[in-house]
Structure 1
């Protein structure tokens, strides 16, 4: 059955009204945050209160890829991946209480800039800047663009790349013009729309099937009629409602899942520019912590707003969402490796009445644009502040602002080129693609920051070569997965043993252990920086500037502004 799109004028009017409203909010925010200078454009003038900080932290993470990916993961295998939402709630608090004080004491705009100050030299800063931009393209921008375009394609029956063009035009417009202030104010508006709309979908879908007990029963019987009953790959898992699954044979073995969703996600929540930049924009430490608490509370919701609706979608539209035949999958969702990614859009477009469908389409657009704008702004910040200033020794503020805006356009083009690989990777399961890419390439960065902040003995050579070794291992595994894709249902397993015997979450943890061992070993045989060189850039030295100053006047003479002094004083009194 072909998914019906938005064909009623009321739905189309609501979507158009939403687009206009978001553009108005973004353009009105141009008056805020002093976007005419670098601090105003990239850090919103550090004037944000806790509400937009928390809303932006949440919406920067929960984008269309989560509505598409979480619902698809729920439809395909159940609730286990919810730990990727629940454990990070505590990591957000760790950012506010532990990591943020060090970043502010170091006085940095970007996370690569912090490593440059912490370790000295330029290679670790340049390497991490280049790597972060590549990671943004393959694990963030391309995924957000693909998932958003998938929904628009289903809703309006448009070509995939025409849908992508519409997304990029709107989001790039107010990101380029307004900077971080525009992004965070529109994020606040879009978060409220997202939550209201998602609650409506969840309530209607539970009502449709008869409640949670009915979900447990009916999900286990949601098997497409177009499959060979001798096969098992098209059936729901018996442990679909279990979070802690078999540690050896489970699709998400519980030891690996717990470690990857906590230690493995440390880099994303505490050491990634997209997230940290929102906290750095807070007007005070209190507002930064308040925003972290709000975001942590909101992270409790995806099980009810995304995963359960995805499972219900499989029940209601089993043949399409749970299809296993490549030809039928191609027909239903234009993707022969599987259609679980259409679970949430299918639910919205089929279940809801006229008007509500338009509203929920607006919800998805909220998620899409909030993710894209956040990544665009953060990526342009990293390129401008960490790389362009290496190319140009003394650029003017006007030049930096122009370069940051042009780089947004470049990121758009590069991300679109990666979209075809996103469509086919990991058997068409979007959330598995995201988490595996980040496990292979992003997780070692968390170990690097953890050791840099808390172990003074960590050296620049250890940081650089530890990260190089980890990324060589991660890229090797990633290339193997692209060369040897997951076999389709019923096909013979022909991949190298390491791909299907060693789960990607276990591989990630072994890679983290290797990173730590390499860094410790090299640090013990290379010269550590002195206490003077480490002033203000570790947990143990974050108050050094205040200790050296007799009063605020002396602090000011040392180049530390009043805002920073008040923040430090707040840290000491908390």
Structure 2
């Protein structure tokens, strides 16, 4: 277990991290315009593009990326980069095409926008219910579970204790400070994520021997139980097209037609109509800041390395 290698200073750093997150969240609760609806749900609509862009970055880069996407890349190869490539163009579409429409409508949320656009209540209730179910099943659960796994490996805590700790800390500053608390804590998380990812990348390449050695070793990589069963050896080796992003339409695990058409349709919902993206962009102080916001998170593609 990792905790066997931790020393007192490591626990102090982890404690400082949680204290900083809570301190930033509490500090944001003292914003003067927090008591209004726009102040609570849209952070007063006076946020600079840097914290807004950092919040979008942190909302998409976290435990699911470092654990889930990295694990998928280890099993499949470079093709998983296509998921992030979509964000480059769709985030630009969010800032230049979608956000002006949302701002003009005066809506705070996507269900509210649908009501303003089409009228009635059924569509608003339907989207609210659907979004709630999808967030729990596809986002919140994976975020909490991935973070809990990391904490358990790092600290040796019980998995349920890790889950409760994550929920308690996050719920505390989110409920108290509203969107502003989320944006400011995400900005802190972005700095930590970028710093940690850079160190992790450098240490990983040093450990494996550089890019060429990584490519050579990966092509022959297999789990120990696979190596112990020569009859099934070929089934456990990496794919022959692991170094290709655009893969065969029939034999590829992420075929290029699906990557170009299917994932673009899915990405349009994720990047341009998802409540997290929309509400965060709407907190920008003006349209110029909202447009610049759509460019900043595109740097998240560097994480694929």
TM-score band by shorter chain is over 0.9
- Give the Å deviation of 1:7: 2.8
Mean CA deviation greater in 154-163 or 253-262 = 253-262
What CA distance in whole angstroms lies between the structure 2 residues aligned with 1:29 and 1:229? 59
Name the residue aligned to 1:141. 140
Normalising by structure 1, we get a TM-score of: 0.51
| 1:290 equivalenced with 2:292 (yes/no) | yes
| 1:21 equivalenced with 2:23 (yes/no) | no
Query: Does the C-alpha gap of structure 1 residues 132 and 8 become closer, same or farther in structure 2, counting only changes over 3 Å?
Result: same
- 8 Å CA contact 2:92–2:294 kept in 1: the answer is yes
- Give the Å deviation of 1:188: 0.9
- Give the Å deviation of 1:159: 1.6
Q: How does 1:52-131 map to 2 (within 5 A)?
A: 52-131=51-130
- 8 Å CA contact 2:174–2:182 kept in 1: the answer is yes
What CA distance in whole angstroms lies between the structure 2 residues aligned with 1:184 and 1:289? 17
Name the residue aligned to 2:272. 270
Normalising by structure 2, we get a TM-score of: 0.95
Name the residue aligned to 2:250. 248
3-state DSSP of counterpart to 1:108: coil
- 8 Å CA contact 1:91–1:269 kept in 2: the answer is yes
What CA distance in whole angstroms lies between the structure 2 residues aligned with 1:17 and 1:27? 15
What CA distance in whole angstroms lies between the structure 1 residues aligned with 2:82 and 2:285? 31
- Give the Å deviation of 1:195: 0.3
3-state DSSP of counterpart to 2:301: coil
3-state DSSP of counterpart to 1:267: helix
| 1:49 equivalenced with 2:63 (yes/no) | no
3-state DSSP of counterpart to 1:34: coil
- Give the Å deviation of 1:261: 3.0
Rg (Cα) greater in structure: 1
- 8 Å CA contact 1:245–1:253 kept in 2: the answer is yes
- Give the Å deviation of 1:120: 1.5
Query: Does the C-alpha gap of structure 1 residues 267 and 295 become closer, same or farther in structure 2, counting only changes over 3 Å?
Result: same
| 1:167 equivalenced with 2:166 (yes/no) | yes
- 8 Å CA contact 2:197–2:303 kept in 1: the answer is no
- CA deviations 1:97-143 (Å, max 9, x no partner) are 00111111111011111111111121111101110011110011001
- 8 Å CA contact 2:2–2:155 kept in 1: the answer is no
Q: How does 1:179-328 map to 2 (within 5 A)?
A: 179-227=178-226, 228-231=229-232, 232-296=234-298, 298-304=299-305
3-state DSSP of counterpart to 1:238: coil
Name the residue aligned to 1:567. none
- Give the Å deviation of 1:239: 1.1
- 8 Å CA contact 1:86–1:299 kept in 2: the answer is no
Name the residue aligned to 1:348. none
- Give the Å deviation of 1:190: 1.0
Higher relative contact order (CA closer than 8 Å, sequence separation 6+): 2
3-state DSSP of counterpart to 1:85: helix
- 8 Å CA contact 1:89–1:299 kept in 2: the answer is no
- CA deviations 1:214-265 (Å, max 9, x no partner) are 1110011112232322213321111111101121121111211222332221
Which stretches in structure 2 are left out of the alignment for 5+ residues? none
What CA distance in whole angstroms lies between the structure 2 residues aligned with 1:93 and 1:33? 32
Query: Does the C-alpha gap of structure 1 residues 258 and 229 become closer, same or farther in structure 2, counting only changes over 3 Å?
Result: farther
What CA distance in whole angstroms lies between the structure 1 residues aligned with 2:132 and 2:14? 32
- CA deviations 1:284-340 (Å, max 9, x no partner) are 0011111111112x2321211xxxxxxxxxxxxxxxxxxxxxxxxxxxxxxxxxxxx
Name the residue aligned to 1:542. none
3-state DSSP of counterpart to 1:31: coil
3-state DSSP of counterpart to 1:230: helix
- Give the Å deviation of 1:33: 6.0
- Give the Å deviation of 1:183: 0.7
- 8 Å CA contact 1:6–1:156 kept in 2: the answer is no
Query: Does the C-alpha gap of structure 1 residues 273 and 225 become closer, same or farther in structure 2, counting only changes over 3 Å?
Result: closer
What CA distance in whole angstroms lies between the structure 1 residues aligned with 2:303 and 2:262? 18
